[in-house]
Amino acid sequence: MTSPDDRKRRGQFFTPAGVANFMAGLCSTFPRRLAVVDPGAGSGTLSAAVCERILRLRSPRHVDFQLFENDAALASLLEENMQHCRSALKQAGHTVVYTIHPEDFIFSNSHVFGQHTLFATSTQTNEFDLAIMNPPYFKIAGNSAYARIMDRIVHGQPNIYALFMALGAQMLKAGGELIAITPRSFCNGLYFRGFRRWFFKRMSLRHIHLFESRTDTFPGGKVLQENVITMTQKVQTPSTNVAITTSYGCDIANMPSSRTMPTRRILDNTTPEMMVRIPQDAEDGRILDLVEAWPNRFADLGLRVSTGPVVMFRTKRFLLGSVDAQHGAPLLSVHNVRPFEAAWPINKKNKPTAFRICPESLSRRLLLPTRNYVLLRRFSAKEERRRLTACCFLKTREVSQYVALENHLNYVYHADRELTDEEVYGLTALFNSALMDRYFRMISGNTQVNATELRTMNLPDLRTISQIGKRVRQLSDFTSAKVEHIVLAELGVAGALERHLTELAL
């Protein structure tokens, strides 16, 4: 069997039986002759789960499985499991044929995307009724052989699993279904934007299953990403609604209770980002409606959001261990940003606290003028209750004419003028609210807060933001419940949603 270290290198996480059975249960039709492709088949758990479904059917089926698995250590187990499936279905009156391809799924099917390599096989496009997959998870470079095969959908450093999904979709017949368990990261972000545009132009989203736990989906696999199961169908007409189910981890019930939401709430095609939002319950749906009814995005209000320019390992010669008011600017990182407070200096494990100001052009280019900013952490720990943490950075409290922001921070500013103190407090209160934190979790399954997602968020007008800030500034302390009350009052949120968000804020 493959060692844990080798599985990690391959991005290989085996599908628990309960998850596999749930995924097979999402398949909506079983024609008399069914062609199935199982990329990254592993030990054959997903194909076996499809066979379990077919065993319940009374009329005979002919099933052709094409399984791709290039881990030689799994070859005998995969063969044994597929022989067992074939024997069991034969006794029930069904016919199973299968071919195991000990090859890389992407390379051996490169011709499907118009690319040809020495490894290409005869598998054709538009051949399969069902693609069911638990693809490998690992990042690939933008100039890798994988990326060159699918250069139409690749940007930056995407993850291999998205290429598996795209290739699986390309190989489906019209009306064919793709069922996949993957990280949720494809739902948002710049690296997956090309994939989302390509994929959802061809595939209609029918079902999303969300796991509440990051660690229980693949027990012992040390998976830290938030994972989802998606079922999409290759049809020209988009679905009107999307079914959403949820489980804590791999212990999925045979069919957990499902709620249906309009596709327009889930798939946002109003911006080039084409993000996928996942509201978990009715309250989330109301939050989504509330926030997206606001008429403005960042750029509409003259606001900009950027990532801190200082990359520590590239600028070691400018980092100072102690404060030097004459030659050093304050250096702020994640640990300096606390709700509403830019805490500096902080002596933490000998981390630098200042950035050298010197005539060298690189040093000056990485410094920002001391102005009013809203600072947001770009990363949050998995166990933190809040995804968004923001603080006020006010020039009246600073003594240096420059500030250095490390690239684990985002900063918000106005393109044409200085943000007022009230606007800084108002934006900070909004980002620290349970309302916006909950909304952000719907549009992002990452612990990382990227500037791309922030730019696409809707915001109230600046007058409302300033009014929030004016009231928040008068507080003697910035406890979550007090801030939440002001934010919701100024936004006109009342009733059950107000009570729900107030509880989340506690």
Question: Which residues, 6 or more positions from 141, have their beta carbon under 8 angstroms from its beta carbon?
Answer: 147, 157
Sign for the pseudo-dihedral over CA of 283, 289, 294, 297: positive
Q: Is the pLDDT of residue 4 over 50?
A: no
pLDDT in tens, 9-32: 444 456 788 899 999 999 998 999
Distance CA 264, CA 448 (A): 25
d(CA 223, CA 210): 15
pLDDT tens digit string along 475-488?
A: 988 988 899 999 99
Q: Residues 57, 30: contact at Cβ < 8 Å? A: yes
65-123 pLDDT, tens digit each: 999 999 999 999 999 999 999 999 999 999 999 999 999 999 999 888 766 554 455 45
Judged against a pLDDT cut of 80, whether residue 249 lies above it is answered with no
Note the helical H segments in 56-122. Answer: 75-91, 105-108
The encoded tokens of residue 147 equal 């990326």
Would the pLDDT of 353 be above 50? yes
Mean pLDDT of the chain: 87
Burial class (CB in 10 A: 0-12, 13-18, 19+), 241: middle
Domains of the chain: 4-202 (3.40.50.150), 299-505 (3.90.220.20)
**Per-residue pLDDT at 311:** 94
- Is the per-residue pLDDT at 5 higher than 60? no
Higher model confidence: residue 402 or residue 348?
Answer: 402
Q: What mean pLDDT comes out for the span 179-200?
A: 90
